[in-house]
Amino acid sequence: MKGYHLGELEELVLLIVGILDQEAYGVSVAEEIKNQMGRKVNISAIHTVLNRLEEKGFVKSHMGGATEERGGRRKRLFSLSASGRAAIHEVKMARNRLYDQLPPLALDFSNG
């Protein structure tokens, strides 16, 4: 478990950045979370998380894509880095491992 510690929101945002692939920036991440998970996350929280993820090296970013809505300001576009992908994978594996160890439900009669 070397350093792949991710918070819950961090994990979520990291996944969304991966899903959005090249189109991930503050607003789109927030929108995507809302659409996919039905959960409203404050935009400033997203920014904080994105910055933290970048510090940890899970995402990388570049400036680009000015639109009229933004008053001509550019977005900071995030994309998943290799270690970020590895981190998601690691987390997923860990979850799966844990999931597999769940005892079967009591009503499951298959084990007699």
Tell me if 85 contacts another protein by CB under 8 A: no
State the nearest-atom distance from the C-beta of 90 to another protein, in Å: 26
- In the list 22, 35, 36, 67, the residue contacting another protein (rule: CB under 8 A) is 67
Give the residue with the Cβ less far from another protein, 37 or 66. 66
Q: Considering the rule CB under 8 A, would residue 37 count as an interface residue with another protein?
A: no
**Alpha-carbon span 31 to 26, nearest angstrom:** 9
What track of x and - describes contact with another protein for positions 9 through 28 (by CB under 8 A)?
A: ----------------xxx-
- 78's CB contacts (< 8 A; 6+ apart) are 17, 24, 25, 29, 50, 53, 54, 59, 60, 61
| Residue 23 CB, nearest approach to another protein (Å) | 13
18 to 46, 57, 104: CA distances (angstroms): 15, 14, 33
Using DSSP, state whether 2 is helix, strand or coil: coil
